[in-house]
A and B are shown apart, each in its own frame.
Chain A
């Protein structure tokens, strides 16, 4: 069974600085999708960025980018120019390309604090 591990329960960053959140996963599959979701205090899950495993190019969405290392099974999220509104829980998630249920497997989350 696939697992997703987020080893940093909490991270802190100064406003306008850059922070990297770590995520590793375990799978025997070669084709899959990876996601980062943000959960602000309102607790709604908001998609931040996504990556297809067969694409070598790292995904980028404005200030958010990923460092996808397939061989190392690592999928870290970099937030540049951090803003106060970035403060939230961040969840890494895995989705098999083979599983017809398309279910997401989540990590335990990293709480990001942004210091003004």
Chain B
């Protein structure tokens, strides 16, 4: 069964450094998303992406964040200058154009720790 994959599974970085989180969505999906989950808290929407542009972004998704689909398979989230509060689990998700309520399928997540 096709699945969303994410790399790396864990990332430790120093405050102020740039990080790039990578995702490979399910191959025939056209909508892509990033969510984050701070430890012990709810999952929060960051950004949705369709047709090579951002559909919507949350207030969390400020100028330090960017997303890109550099080729036909990868979908990346870049944090330009990480802060301590960026430490969280980051989930990528994808959904197809058709199908039940455009159900989103999630990747296994990248655990980001900013020191």
Chain A interface (Cβ within 8 Å of chain B)?
A: 33, 35, 37, 42-47, 50, 52, 91, 93, 95, 97, 99-109
Contacts and interface: CB of A to CB of B under 8 A. Distances in A.
A102 B108 contact: no
Interface string B35-63: 10100011111001000000110100000
A108 B103 contact: no
B104 interface: yes
B103 A44 contact: no
A104 B109 contact: no
Contact of B100 (A43, A50, A107): A50
Given A102-B31, A108-B41, A45 B48 contact: no
Given A52-B100, A104-B104, 14 more contacts: A33-B100, A44-B107, A47-B105, A47-B106, A91-B42, A101-B48, A101-B55, A102-B55, A102-B102, A103-B33, A105-B45, A106-B42, A106-B44, A107-B42
A91 B55 contact: no
27 contacts: A33-B100, A37-B106, A43-B111, A44-B108, A44-B109, A45-B93, A45-B109, A50-B100, A50-B103, A52-B100, A52-B101, A91-B42, A91-B43, A97-B101, A99-B56, A100-B55, A101-B48, A101-B56, A102-B55, A102-B102, A103-B48, A104-B45, A104-B104, A105-B45, A106-B44, A107-B42, A108-B42
Interface residues on B, range: 20 to 34
A88 B109 CA distance: 16
A45 B101 contact: no
